[in-house]
Structure 1
Amino acid sequence: MSSLKGSQAQKPRLSVFSKGPLEIPSPTEADWPKDDEKDFVFKDMDQELDSLPQPYRMINKLVNRLFDRSWEIIEERDSLREVERSWIVPIIYPPAAEIRLDKMPGGMAVSQDYLFIGGPKGFSIYNLHNCKKIYVLEKLKVDVISIWATDLGNDVLIVPVDEMGIVRLFYLCKDSLYLIKAINEMDDTSKQSTCVKMEVSQSGDYAAFLFQGAGDVWLEVYKLPKEIWLKESEHPQLALSQKKKPKQLQLNTPDSAVTEHTETNLGPSVSPNSIQDLNISFRSDLKLSPPVFVMKIKPPKPIAGTTFKSPLEVFAKVEDYFGIGSGQNHFIKDVQWEQHMEIFYTSYKKHLEGEWEEEPLSMATFHFFYTNSLTTTPMDVKSSSGVACVLGIHWTGSHNFFLYSLNKTPKDKTDYENVWPCAAPIVMSQTSSFSSYLALVCDDGVLILWDLAQGFLFGVIALPEGCFCQSIHFLRFFLVHEGQNVYPDYPVKFEVMCVVLCTNASLHLVTASGTEGPTSRVLVDRPVMHLEEAIYAVAPVPALPGMVLIFSRNHSVSLMDVAKAEIICAFSAPTCRQQAMPWKPLFVVSPHHPCFLLHGVHPHGHTTPTTDDPKNTTDSVFYFNFEDYLLLKDISKKCTISQKCLGYSQDFSQMLPAEKRCEQFLQRSFQKVAKNQMKGRDQWSRLRKYSILLQKETLKR
């Protein structure tokens, strides 16, 4: 029916009329007159409607338009019903536990068996396994708006940022909590800077903070003496007996504490069952060593004219050669620069007539790397494995990715040791665990993948036209064995997987293997009709191989298997859906345990879940444990597989060590040689038979 209607809408309605009067034909076919095309005329039936007088002609057009639109709606509903019939409704799991809060949390962080939630005047510490509150710190002047936590062996480094932009370092060791230092707190509020972004190395040896203030932006890098912190916390007399003590940092209560410089390595492990029995206390009497300042990095200066008069003067007075061929360290005369700007303004005058907007401050994205091959390491510097040694950074609108060595002292000159130029400005960068892999995303949709440990470029891939990267997340490499995703229990090299969420809400899986180059596969297409189903955020689940959490704008949370591009299940939590504001999910996924936590708004009593009154709602954090659900329990417990179980199948040959792969290659080569020898013997025997037959035929002649 729909196809018939469509054909009628596309083709004009024609009828054939004879010019003369119609006659009854003779019963004998021989007497029938021959048809002449000139005797017939074609008329459009719609022409008769067009000849109608007003207002009937307008009424006819409106009726036809209404009919066409109604038919389109019917076809759309029919197609939607067909799609819904093919849908498989996933299993929806409720949360395992709920944490009631007084107000919206100021960020969440997970480290080891602890959950840290920012709140009024401080933060709270919970047991991750049973969601019981262990300790509450409410000694700050203002509320905490974001919080980070990093493992330092068996201890934890806690880094909250308050509403004033002040970042502090707290150290949790066993049953004691110490304040190490407020990095950017100033007595003069007019000189107060704001922490915009921060990053702590995965090993906990270094921390970098991006500050903004007085119309300027800069990056400060500190070395964290975690081993000294551990010694000072275990032996308080060492810290108390110090002669020179730094000025104490005051909070808004007399119980405030100061802490300083340190590096840590492991104390006795704490079992999850004993965490709830801990009685954490805030130690204001003990001052730990502060972090050591390493360097301060500012954005690259814009290109400007130079006072040098000749190239010889440039070579004579410039000592550094860094940045050659990368667009850095240009030396252009003022006259040449003025001529260049004049030509530019003349060419684009019509586009520059409007008022100039003030350019925003340049922001930085930075990462810690653990390989010495990226920069030149001095001979007298000893670097240990697993310790960050390089800082990579790129600034807003810059084509270059700068690399700074961390093996410096504050007296050393702050210069980058290496620079990687890109063809387009870098808009995003991401690293995998312990920075083994690096992804650089340019503003033209090009994705560059690097293996930093081996110094190997996987390749460059361009996202589909119209797709621009919104976020990128690396996945731990997994295999599909007997229909289940598993992690190999041996080191895997030259294999990378990452999921890319684009600005049009489409989701892609990018993979690269050895020298084959990266490939892209669409996991979720961009929504066309139902925009509320658009993906807002994506988060990998380390405890489940090949699984990612998908947070949609309609407040739904689902778990996807990227190998099959299928939704495994969904998770629900009571949520007050405010239609006026888009949903920005606040969540955290545990890197070591099979669980994640999600912030939601719980309505009071019989309040409808669509209410917009904040007085009738309560903020909560919902806890989802994958092992509590039968569908995911086996996956989380059987997530690894040994090399023996995989055997030497060709499907997994690329995952084996180099020695095994060489052995398999030689064995296959020997097998091919034996097969070729057999084929050669067969061909030789046939050739001999044919030659004997030809000789006999020749003798007969």
Structure 2
Amino acid sequence: MSVHMGKTPPHQNCKKTSRQKTPTFKPSATTQFPECTNCLASSEDGRYLGLGHSQGFSIWCASSLIAVAEWLHETVEITFIQITRMAETTYVLGTIDDMGVARVFAYHNEDIHLLCVLNIMENVNKRSICLMYEMSEGGDYAAASISCNGAVWLEVYSFPSDVWQKELEMALLQEQDSSGDVDLKWSPASMVFKITPSKMPADGPLEDFFAHCLALDTHISSRHQQEEQASNADTGKIKAASERRCTHHFLLPCGRFIGESRAKPQSVGFPVALCVWWSGSQNLLQYLLQKAPKKKSADVEPVPDELWPNANEILCSAVSRSTRYVALGLDNGVVCVWDRQSGSPLSVVSVSAADSAFLRIQFVDNSPLSADDSHSSFTEKVQILVLCKSGAIHTVTTGRETQSCTMQLTDLLRTKHSGDLPTVVTSVQFLQNLLFVLQRNGKMFLLDVINNTPVCLLVPLSTHPIASPCNPVYALNAKQKTLFIKGLHVSAHDLMRSCSVPSPGESQSQLLVFRFGESDVIKQYIISPRQQTPSYVTREETCDLYLQQRALSLDERRKAQKQTWNQLKETEVAVKRRHSRSTTS
């Protein structure tokens, strides 16, 4: 495996690339999609694909591309799907349909079972709509953002995965003993807590720092809503103030809280906390999932166990693969990276993005592990990708006791017109320092973020263009090193008749498969998967590592301190000289 260190300056690489033709890679396979496929997801183990479409969803084998099970309903159109493995032979699926109904399914022994509906609509006048829905890896928890009559809140559920597994085994035995279907009642999911935007009055008693930060958030949010309503009144628009949207991330143990020891020892991806921030907020809140509530009622507003304040409004966020680091993109062009283990910022980096606000942020978390990674707690570097609304892309490399650096990927992604704007920019977990980029015009390529050069163009067949590049349906399978993306099958006669791509209704949907392991150009970038065990240590071990790092860096710190004192003395002499000259004149 070759690792590109980027010794050649980026501008020289760009000139070299312009003289050399970028290699191309065509789909390894194509197959017909179900009609009106809206969403696509891959399980973490790479075995199955979940396809959401009109009249239900289906499960496909990722290697053979054959449908193995389906759940059909005439009036249900699935618009979001997620699939994760709950046990060795059991998978749990989360879906949202076009009416905003969130459901939980289980795939067991080639059968699909509807386990529960999260937002059952008992009253038509109070119809709750699921805006966003995410399950933790392994299906132990789920968080759903719910909207109803202008109010938005976050519901966090605990799934009885062990009980469901036993009930699925029992259902299988009953189906084998009986000739027909068996009507079973599954154990319900329990709501852990319900989180709403803070409603603390700005002029109330400020007993502690938490209360002060929450009150400040409430004041800023109210001011934004008043400004928005005033703007609508000035323009004559009749429009309600925008709802406060919620963004959340499940967090794995980091060895900082006592409650983390209550996580399942056999489950590597078992989350212990949830971090949350609301639109218009400056605070990142953390809630422990295993913390026993004093009152069993889920309507009781939970109190955050941790609060990380920021100087400006949060626009976007991301967590590293180990979930130790949380990156926040702020509205003043600043990226703040919080270290959960120490409870303090790892770094605060100013990004030159004055022309446009941040749109999305993510970790380029695909570096291979070295043998001593467990002891590099205080020297580890993190790389972050920032996408702006203007289409500009920045990379940020930072770490503790290291100098941060930023780079804008402009040579290849400079937008000459709207067709060049990227709609997908994401790091590829199994490719070293490569990004997958898809533009509005349907152009796809892999980009080396170190050398700022395209590695390979992903070119679909002329008869299979990418379907809806502005809102593509795709999934990356890390286990199989594969990209699955929705395309359209267009006949040669239609292409000759018109240069424009036909609408989806005029052509058949196709699944395009790019197996990166089959490309000699891409093979050299493929890296071995990371270890599944999260690397975290206890608080005592953290202190020991910190003291070790401080002892090893003593000479360097003394040298830097001496250099700083020398600079101060030189500055003092220069200031005295200027002062004496001014007084003499």
Q: Tell me what 2:350 maps to.
A: 462
In the superposition, the TM-score normalised over structure 2's length comes to: 0.75
1:85 and 1:634 map into 2 onto residues whose CA distance is 18
Question: Are residues 613 and 634 of structure 1, via their aligned partners in 2, closer, same or farther at CA, if it must alter by over 3 Å?
Answer: closer
Q: Is the 8 A contact 2:484 2:513 kept in 1?
A: yes
The one of 129, 133, 137 equivalent to 2:67 is: 133
1:120 offset after TM fit, Å? Answer: 1.9
1:201 and 1:601 map into 2 onto residues whose CA distance is 32
Q: Tell me what 1:473 maps to.
A: 362
Q: Tell me what 1:100 maps to.
A: 32
Q: Tell me what 2:42 maps to.
A: 110
Say whether 1:157 aligns with 2:110. Answer: no
1:102 offset after TM fit, Å? Answer: 4.3
Task: Give the alignment of 1:361-510 within 5 angstroms.
Answer: 361-371=243-253, 377=259, 382-384=262-264, 386=268, 387-406=270-289, 407-409=291-293, 410-411=296-297, 413-417=300-304, 418-464=306-352, 465-476=354-365, 478=367, 486-488=368-370, 490-491=373-374, 493=377, 494-510=380-396
Say whether 1:193 aligns with 2:123. Answer: no
Map Cα deviations across residues 554-582 of structure 1 (whole Å, 9 max, x no partner).
21110112222221111122478999987
2:464 and 2:117 map into 1 onto residues whose CA distance is 38
2:333 and 2:92 map into 1 onto residues whose CA distance is 36
Question: Are residues 577 and 555 of structure 1, via their aligned partners in 2, closer, same or farther at CA, if it must alter by over 3 Å?
Answer: farther
1:428 and 1:164 map into 2 onto residues whose CA distance is 27
Q: Is the 8 A contact 2:199 2:218 kept in 1?
A: no
1:422 offset after TM fit, Å? Answer: 1.5
1:106 and 1:446 map into 2 onto residues whose CA distance is 35
Q: Tell me what 1:148 maps to.
A: 82
Question: Are residues 546 and 351 of structure 1, via their aligned partners in 2, closer, same or farther at CA, if it must alter by over 3 Å?
Answer: closer
Q: Tell me what 1:63 maps to.
A: none
The one of 165, 188, 197 equivalent to 1:290 is: 188
Question: Are residues 374 and 658 of structure 1, via their aligned partners in 2, closer, same or farther at CA, if it must alter by over 3 Å?
Answer: closer
2:114 and 2:435 map into 1 onto residues whose CA distance is 36
Question: Are residues 177 and 453 of structure 1, via their aligned partners in 2, closer, same or farther at CA, if it must alter by over 3 Å?
Answer: farther
1:459 offset after TM fit, Å? Answer: 0.9
The one of 628, 632, 636 equivalent to 2:518 is: 628
Q: Which has the larger radius of gyration?
A: 1
1:592 and 1:548 map into 2 onto residues whose CA distance is 17
2:251 and 2:277 map into 1 onto residues whose CA distance is 14
1:630 offset after TM fit, Å? Answer: 2.1
Q: What amino acid does structure 2 have at the position aligned with 1:598?
A: I
Q: Is the 8 A contact 2:328 2:361 kept in 1?
A: no
In the superposition, the TM-score normalised over structure 1's length comes to: 0.63
2:314 and 2:34 map into 1 onto residues whose CA distance is 41
Q: Is the 8 A contact 1:543 1:593 kept in 2?
A: no
1:282 and 1:468 map into 2 onto residues whose CA distance is 58
Question: Are residues 362 and 570 of structure 1, via their aligned partners in 2, closer, same or farther at CA, if it must alter by over 3 Å?
Answer: same
1:156 offset after TM fit, Å? Answer: 1.7
Q: What amino acid does structure 1 have at the position aligned with 2:86?
A: L
1:638 and 1:181 map into 2 onto residues whose CA distance is 38
1:662 and 1:102 map into 2 onto residues whose CA distance is 56
Q: Is the 8 A contact 2:171 2:182 kept in 1?
A: no
2:505 and 2:357 map into 1 onto residues whose CA distance is 40
Q: Is the 8 A contact 2:356 2:389 kept in 1?
A: yes
1:430 offset after TM fit, Å? Answer: 0.9
Map Cα deviations across residues 626-660 of structure 1 (whole Å, 9 max, x no partner).
1122222354366789xxxxxxxxxxxxxxx969x
Question: Are residues 284 and 474 of structure 1, via their aligned partners in 2, closer, same or farther at CA, if it must alter by over 3 Å?
Answer: farther
Q: Is the 8 A contact 1:472 1:500 kept in 2?
A: yes
Question: Are residues 351 and 571 of structure 1, via their aligned partners in 2, closer, same or farther at CA, if it must alter by over 3 Å?
Answer: closer
Q: Tell me what 2:419 maps to.
A: 532
Say whether 1:359 aligns with 2:241. Answer: yes
Q: What amino acid does structure 1 have at the position aligned with 2:359?
A: Q
Task: Give the alignment of 1:197-596 within 5 angstroms.
Answer: 197-236=132-171, 285-301=183-199, 303=201, 321=208, 323-328=210-215, 355=236, 357-371=239-253, 377=259, 382-384=262-264, 386=268, 387-406=270-289, 407-409=291-293, 410-411=296-297, 413-417=300-304, 418-464=306-352, 465-476=354-365, 478=367, 486-488=368-370, 490-491=373-374, 493=377, 494-525=380-411, 527=414, 529-574=416-461, 583-596=470-483
Map Cα deviations across residues 224-272 of structure 1 (whole Å, 9 max, x no partner).
12122222223449999xxxxxxxxxxxxxxxxxxxxxxxxxxxxxxxx
Question: Are residues 588 and 615 of structure 1, via their aligned partners in 2, closer, same or farther at CA, if it must alter by over 3 Å?
Answer: closer
Task: Give the alignment of 1:41-190 within 5 angstroms.
Answer: 86-111=18-43, 112=45, 113-139=47-73, 141-154=75-88, 155-190=90-125
What is the aligned residue count?
Answer: 502
Map Cα deviations across residues 190-211 of structure 1 (whole Å, 9 max, x no partner).
3321110112223432111001
2:525 and 2:457 map into 1 onto residues whose CA distance is 16
The residue matched to 1:190 in structure 2 has which SS? helix
Q: Tell me what 1:481 maps to.
A: none
Map Cα deviations across residues 481-508 of structure 1 (whole Å, 9 max, x no partner).
xxxxx55365453321122222222222
Map Cα deviations across residues 428-447 of structure 1 (whole Å, 9 max, x no partner).
11112242210111112211
1:211 and 1:585 map into 2 onto residues whose CA distance is 25
Q: Is the 8 A contact 1:427 1:443 kept in 2?
A: yes
1:524 offset after TM fit, Å? Answer: 3.3
2:147 and 2:20 map into 1 onto residues whose CA distance is 50
1:192 and 1:506 map into 2 onto residues whose CA distance is 39
Give unmatched runs, 5+ long, in structure 2: 1-13, 532-543, 557-585
2:15 and 2:417 map into 1 onto residues whose CA distance is 13
Q: Tell me what 2:10 maps to.
A: none
Q: Which has the higher contact order (CA 8 A, sep 6+)?
A: 2
2:194 and 2:447 map into 1 onto residues whose CA distance is 42
The residue matched to 2:37 in structure 1 has which SS? coil
Q: Is the 8 A contact 1:239 1:286 kept in 2?
A: no
1:607 and 1:107 map into 2 onto residues whose CA distance is 26
Identity in percent: 23
Q: Is the 8 A contact 1:405 1:416 kept in 2?
A: no
Q: Tell me what 1:28 maps to.
A: none
1:376 offset after TM fit, Å? Answer: 7.6
